[in-house]
A and B are shown apart, each in its own frame.
Chain A
Amino acid sequence: DTAVSQTPKYLVTQMGNDKSIKCEQNLGHDTMYWYKQDSKKFLKIMFSYNNKELIINETVPNRFSPKSPDKAHLNLHINSLELGDSAVYFCASSLTGPAYEQYFGPGTRLTVT
């Protein structure tokens, strides 16, 4: 019954590999997000999707490609992983509108060696 779920919770991989992180929400929200939290704990928006359409795309390397097969899912695929990609990645979802609360998933800790 988890509202926003992510898999996997931990991901350890080598430089150059390609990996995916999956996110699903069962809240009936129509907007989903990916955030990156670096070692200094700052959270930064990466992407935002509304009804499966990309609406925010921050300055993120094009090695990162989000995919939204439907409103309840937003997956993140990362090509050619680099050491600097090591971080915690959070998925979130909300209803569309300026003051709706965002619900965050538990995070995926990615470690690139």
Chain B
Amino acid sequence: KNQVEQSPQSLIILEGKNCTLQCNYTVSPFSNLRWYKQDTGRGPVSLTIMTFSENTKSNGRYTATLDADTKQSSLHITASQLSDSASYICVVSARIAAGNKLTFGGGTRVLVKP
């Protein structure tokens, strides 16, 4: 069964500090891994998409890593800002006959405090 597990479930950090979120998955056949940011009351917004051959990708202060051998990914937030308070969702795409199917993790809720 395809699964995506994220840790921690929630995280409180002070403004300006860094943090790292973890994602472990058992999804096959693997197609790509995505990180989304979801603000409260809004739809998810894509931060990064990584394929099998990519092991790091950045989007501003967000840097995602992927280890396809151990099936782990991380999202690092540098110099956090109040606007980073949101849920961060790891999503793994499996290649299926009909196209691609996404499996979502439960998310990590990040709260940045001044």
Residue positions of A touching B, CB distance < 8 A = 4, 31, 40-45, 48, 50, 55-56, 90, 92, 96, 98-99, 101-107
Scan B49-61; emit 1 where CB is below 8 A from any A CB, else 0. Answer: 1010000000000
**Interface members, chain B 37-59 (any A CB < 8 Å):** 41-46, 49, 51
Q: What are 18 of the A-B contact pairs (CB < 8 Å)? A: A4-B43, A43-B44, A43-B89, A44-B104, A45-B102, A48-B98, A48-B99, A50-B99, A55-B98, A98-B100, A99-B49, A99-B51, A99-B93, A101-B46, A104-B44, A104-B45, A106-B42, A106-B43
Nearest chain B residue, comparing its CB with the CB of A54: B98
B49 A101 Cβ-Cβ under 8 A: yes
Q: Complex Cα distance A43/B4, Å?
A: 11
B106 touches A42 (CB 8 A): yes
On whether the beta carbons of A104 and B43 are closer than 8 Å, the reply is yes
Partner of A107, one of B43, B87, B106: B43
Cross-chain contact of A45 among B31, B44, B101 (Cβ < 8 A): B101
Main secondary structure of the interface of A (DSSP, over half): strand
Q: Which residues of B contact A90 (CB under 8 A)?
A: 43-44
Q: Is B95 an interface residue (CB 8 A)?
A: yes
Given A44-B104, A99-B49, do A105 and B99 touch, yes or no (CB 8 Å)? no
Q: State the main secondary structure of chain B at its contact with A.
A: strand
- Enumerate B79-114 residues with CB–CB distance to A below 8 Å: 87, 89, 93, 95, 98-102, 104, 106-107
Contacts of A42 in B (CB 8 A): 104, 106
CB distance from A48 to the nearest CB of B (A): 7
Kindly supply a per-residue 1/0 record for chain B positions 13-37, scoring 1 wherever the CB is within 8 Å of any chain A CB and 0 otherwise. 0000000000000000001101000
CB A65 to nearest CB in B, in angstroms, measures 19
Q: Are A56 and B43 in contact (CB under 8 A)?
A: no
